[in-house]
Amino acid sequence: MSADIWLPADFNKANNQKFRLMIFLHGADPDNSQKTINTFKEAFEIYTGAVNPPVIIVPDVRSTASQTFGNRHLYANSVYHGNYEDVITKDLINFLKTDTVFNFASKISYQREHMAIGGFSMGADGALRIALRNPDMFKVALIHAAIPSFSDQVITTFATLAKVESCETLPCQFSVDAINKPITYRLWGASSAWSPSDQNGEISFLLNNDGSTNTEVLNYWKSNYEPATLISNQGIYSSTDGPYLYLEVGDQDGNKFATFPNFIDQLKSIGVPEQFYKTRLSSGSHIFDALRAVGSLTYLLNNLDDIVTSSKNYAQEIGLKIFPNPVNSNQLYLSVKDLFQSGAVGLKIFDPINGRVIYSHKYEHFSDIKEINISNLTDGLYFLSVQFNGKVNTLPFVIN
């Protein structure tokens, strides 16, 4: 298994400092690991440039069982694909805990209070279920564009669409055809990952040949993989402080958008306190805009516990400061040491609530104090991202 890793700017300079960890899971397409990296690159750079930033790891996790269902292992342990939940919760974590080449063993804190998991699309589905199946491992889960609900309404909708695709004549022809039968294909993928299978890899499909629902399969799914059932059966929020869930979806994201309200209703009906989840409806489809992920940065940093350290971070080392903070005027000031005068500096201001860049400028020469006009910004929280010498530092500021 390979992985792409984002390190905080001062990771290699901090001798005694430990860092928080976020594992981010990619989607189902064969090349989705790289797609995820390309899409979220800017967001990850902002994350690792923040105060007390996490180490971010995007493992490349592809199914070697068969390409029939693409890579739709859904990060689950299954007879057909293999144990992909264990790949994350055991293999990857054990590798990091024993690594001495990059010093991950000594520089990352593996306490639950300092660990998060997140993902996009299939990776979001996997991250949500892994977080709920392992509530003692991850304190925060960042869920972007998942299908989080197995409510009767959701199952009925998917089953009805699959019947239209495959049951014009009986018995139903549940062929794996991603182009002409996309819903059936998705159900086959979920069945390959979640359903009871014999040791020969024979898969139990969600629908019977007459188009009726296979209740044995559905009950197995609900008991082992439905998020609301996992929460109820384990009593997660009555015994632990989390995991804290950041749930984001685009308003044009088809079935994922359609299942979103069902899951929120489920959380409310089983009594999950509202402080443990935050929802965000973004503008967009399943083609993801990285800046939609920036909004989760505040949630991540606010809900992972801080690691107290006496080490000087990179922002302190280069004398990077913004003032006043909070801001109650039309001007924000950025001060640096003479170091910045030797090269170009890129500045961006991000609105984490709406997920957009509202200021961007590159300076070939930078004076000791730079004045930024913020008269067009409303009250709220913002992030100032400073890029210099291949490193990104992110500082929060508040306007009130």
Q: Give the model confidence (pLDDT) of 222-263 as tens digits.
A: 888 999 999 998 888 886 677 999 999 888 888 777 788 889
Point out which residues pair with 203 in neighbouring strands.
Answer: 197
> In the structure encoding, which two tokens stand for residue 242, read together?
């989390």
Where do we find the tokens 């390959």?
192
* Domain ranges, ordered by start, for the chain: 2-149+226-303, 152-218, 318-399
Q: Is residue 3 over pLDDT 90?
A: no
HSE-CB at 388 with a 13 A cutoff on CA atoms is 24
Would you state the pLDDT for residue 393?
76
318-399 CATH:
2.60.40.3080
Most confident of 1-10, 261-270, 282-291, 378-387: 261-270
Q: Is residue 341 over pLDDT 60?
A: no
pLDDT band for position 200 (50/70/90)? low
pLDDT in tens, 11-31: 887 677 889 999 999 888 656
> In the structure encoding, which two tokens stand for residue 187, read together?
């159900």
DSSP state of 114: G
> In the structure encoding, which two tokens stand for residue 342, read together?
């030797």
Distance CA 59, CA 61 (A): 6
DSSP-derived 3-state class of residue 85: helix
Q: What is the pTM of this model?
A: 0.80
Average confidence score pLDDT of the chain:
83
Element (H, E) at 24: strand 20-25
Would you state the pLDDT for residue 308?
57
Most confident of 125-139, 274-288, 370-384: 125-139
Helix 227-234 to helix 122-133 angle, to the nearest 10 degrees? Answer: 10
Helix 291-303 to helix 32-48 angle, to the nearest 10 degrees? Answer: 60
Q: Which residue has the higher pLDDT, 358 or 21?
A: 21
CATH architecture for segment(s) 2-149+226-303: 3-Layer(aba) Sandwich (3.40)
Q: Is residue 311 over pLDDT 50?
A: no
- Angstrom distances, CA of residue 326 to CA of 322, 323, 382, 397: 10, 8, 11, 6
